[in-house]
Amino acid sequence: MKEVTIQKFSCEQLYNLWVTDPDLIQIIDLRSAIDFQEGHIPGSLNIEVKKLPTFLSHLPNKLAVIIGDNIIPREIENEILAFTNFVFLNSCQKWKELKYPMTSKYLGEKIKIKEDAKMKDIIFHQLFEAESSTYTYIIADKKTKEAAIIDPVLETVDRDLKLIEELGLKLIYALDTHIHADHITGAGEIRRRLGIKTAVSQHAEIGCVDIALEEGQELSLGGHTIRVLETPGHTNTCLTYYFEGMIFTGDALLVRTCGRTDFQQGSPKKLFESVRNKLFQLPDETIIYPGHDYRGHTSSTIGEERKFNSRLRETISMDEFQKIMNELKLPNPKKIHEAVPANLACGQPQDKRLLHPQIVDGVPEVTPLVVLQNMPQVEAGKIQLIDVRRPDEFNNELGHVKGAQLVTLGPELTKYLERTDKNQEIVFICRSGGRSGSATIESQKLGFKKTINMAGGMIRWNDEHQPVERI
Ligand code: FE2
């Protein structure tokens, strides 16, 4: 074997030709078949070195760019040097470093094999809660059995813990992708039963959570790592968890769609940035496991969503996305008034309330119509109506609401409030809403949480032709 000096090409020279006049060159890769399969310049041919002279003789109008180890066997040296239609490029390495295009015949298969190998040493379960269409996930290290549960739902905690027990898993974390508005998290209940750690975004500012998560934080799970990505936009607390080629996206990115952006500090602009600048930067093969699905999908990939997501695919601009989101006008989730306060308390259900007032100038208010609609609850004693006017007004021309109790604003009302359960749901009523507003504020200062002013008082009640009593 003898080293032969041959005219050399730089990677940049080859690239320029390869881009501008690809028909003028033929790249010949003399490396081993294994190295060639690892990665090669598109369009190159992998041949054995001893076949090189024959090959060159068949390339009269082309320049052969030979990639190899710069060693030509003596027996073909003379034959090779007889040709002038070739140059040498030492290796593909520089081509790779310059990030010029590379192809690999077997790369796809290799990745798949690697993923399969990874799947073999992890455990993965996708579970579904039908009422809120929520997906819960259990991921674990197969060897150590350390496990995490993502987005558990309170109603299905028994099912999830039974599965964890059956699989012999050691649950370490209960992770929420965000503060949910449509269901109560099961994280708090699981912690109560198993003593595990709960985790949500630091931006939720929840005191009862064990781990307040931030961008880039890593949680170890046996020999594996769960990586935290902040993906705000659906809410300001949204996180995506990355684990072994999978992402658990909560409501930031759903299959072919995305979560709404109109409450809990949601922002179309932030969601667009989270998905396009962060999630879509992950490899196309990354598997997406969403927080919900309403049409029967179970997963997707980054590659698919970049092409086919109806709101966020790459051909849609930020302005178009904002327009789509701002025009959605969806009704609130059924459980929002129950779920959000409970989830801010780590899934501890808060006292349920029947009325959900608007806050006007700091005072919770409902309209007379809402009061009328809730008369069955008044009759059942679940809501108290307290009329705070003077006794002479109670039966005057405006009358009073059926079931209302007269407790005049002043010392009488104060005494009444002092002896009443602070969890009692009360609607205060007066002539025009002023005195009942004061009663609401007074009650809240005493610690009442569910007291409400009836907006507009008996004047509005009468204007709206609601039934009155005068006895
Ligand atoms: Fe959500």
How far is Cα 306 from Cα 282, in angstroms, rounded to an integer? Answer: 11
CA of 147 to the centre of ligand 1 (A): 23
Q: What is the pLDDT of residues 164-211, one digit of tens each?
A: 999 999 999 999 999 999 999 999 999 999 999 999 999 999 889 999
Most confidently modeled range among 171-180, 215-224, 370-379: 171-180
28 and 91 inside one domain: yes
115 and 251 inside one domain: yes
Closest CA to 413 of 395, 389, 434: 389
Is the predicted pLDDT of residue 336 greater than 90, yes or no? no
161 and 125 inside one domain: yes
CA of 150 to the centre of ligand 1 (A): 13
181 and 311 inside one domain: yes
170 and 192 inside one domain: yes
Tell me, yes or no, whether 192 lies in a domain.
yes
Q: pTM of the full predicted structure?
A: 0.56
| Residue 42 lies in domain | 2-96
77 and 172 inside one domain: no
Q: What is residue 204's DSSP assignment? A: G
Distances (CA, A) of 162 to 4, 166, 168: 71, 6, 10
- Residue 331's pLDDT is 84
CA of 318 to the centre of ligand 1 (A): 21
Q: What is the pLDDT of residues 13-44, one digit of tens each?
A: 787 777 777 777 888 888 887 777 777 787 78
Is the predicted pLDDT of residue 471 greater than 80, yes or no? no
Q: What is the pLDDT of residues 66-93, one digit of tens each?
A: 887 656 667 777 777 777 777 777 666 7
- Residue 72's pLDDT is 67
212 and 151 inside one domain: yes
CA of 141 to the centre of ligand 1 (A): 27
Strand, coil or helix: what is 370? helix
Residue where a domain stops, chosen among 326, 350, 380: 326
Number of domains in the chain: 3
CA of 64 to the centre of ligand 1 (A): 59
Q: Which residues surround ligand 1, an ion (CB under 5 A)?
A: 251
End-to-end CA distance of the chain: 118
Alpha helices for 99-243 (secondary structure H): 107-120, 157-166, 187-194
How far is Cα 147 from Cα 53, in angstroms, rounded to an integer? Answer: 60
CATH code of the domain covering residue 90: 3.40.250.10
- Residue 112's pLDDT is 42
With pLDDT > 70 as the criterion, what percentage of the chain qualifies? 90
Is the predicted pLDDT of residue 397 greater than 90, yes or no? yes
Q: What is the pLDDT of residues 264-307, one digit of tens each?
A: 899 999 999 999 999 999 999 999 999 999 888 999 999 999 99
CA of 252 to the centre of ligand 1 (A): 8
Tell me, yes or no, whether 457 lies in a domain.
yes
217 and 74 inside one domain: no
89 and 139 inside one domain: no
CA of 182 to the centre of ligand 1 (A): 7
- Residue 117's pLDDT is 46
